[in-house]
Amino acid sequence: MAATSLVVMGVSGSGKSTVAKLLAGRLGWPFAEGDEFHPEANVAKMRAGVPLTDADREPWLRTLRDWIGEQAAAGKSTVVTCSALRRAYRDLLREADADVRFVHLDGTRELIAERLAHRSGHFMPPALLDSQFAALEPLGPDEAGIVVDVADAPEDIVDAVVARLDD
């Protein structure tokens, strides 16, 4: 049985880091913060308020895919944060030799903008939120994964994900 990788996805500020760290702790699975896999040029671009292009994201997605694959080859299931906004990005991550499933943190622009307005110490400017929603393609019915509501508390979201792991 292949190892699983749960990719916690959604727009900037949807709570990926918050939820994924809790989830990884609960499951005891290795965790990767997708933000840390960006080439320096991508971080500089986002910091400057410029949305990433498909070409910018491709090398980043490849390194994440490779990390998932390496862990799976060692028999380890993983939790990863990655915005994974477009289906093509998720297709790339699914190339990993693992059971790759997505957890979409779904919420309104209003709620997420409000949270971003109160977050400090992060390179991603709130002004990029509209571009994130513009790029977002929700999970298709044929894509393995679940959608959770970010209005719920992080612990409740983790409970919901764990409860559905055996689906």
Ligand X SMILES: Nc1ncnc2c1ncn2[C@@H]1O[C@H](COP(=O)(O)OP(=O)(O)OP(=O)(O)O)[C@@H](O)[C@H]1O
Interface ranges with ligand X (CB under 6 A): 10, 12-18, 35, 81, 83, 115, 119, 122, 124, 150, 153-154
Closest by Cα among 8, 15, 59 to 29 = 8
With binding defined as CB under 6 A, does residue 124 bind ligand GCO? yes
Sequence letter at residue 47: R
Handedness of CA 63, 46, 6, 138 (dihedral sign): negative
Q: Find which of ligand X, ligand GCO, none residue 150 binds, CB within 5 to 8 Å per kind.
A: ligand X
72 vs 107, beta carbon nearer ligand X: 107
Give me the torsion for CA of 48, 68, 86, 28, rounded to 10°.
-90
All residues at 6 or more sequence positions from 90 whose CB lies less than 8 Å from its CB, including other chains: 7, 9, 84, 100, 102, 139, 143
Q: Find which of ligand GCO, ligand X, none residue 107 binds, CB within 5 to 8 Å per kind.
A: none
Q: Find which of ligand GCO, ligand X, none residue 17 binds, CB within 5 to 8 Å per kind.
A: ligand X
Give the footprint of ligand GCO on this chain (CB under 6 A).
12, 35, 52, 57, 83, 85, 124, 132
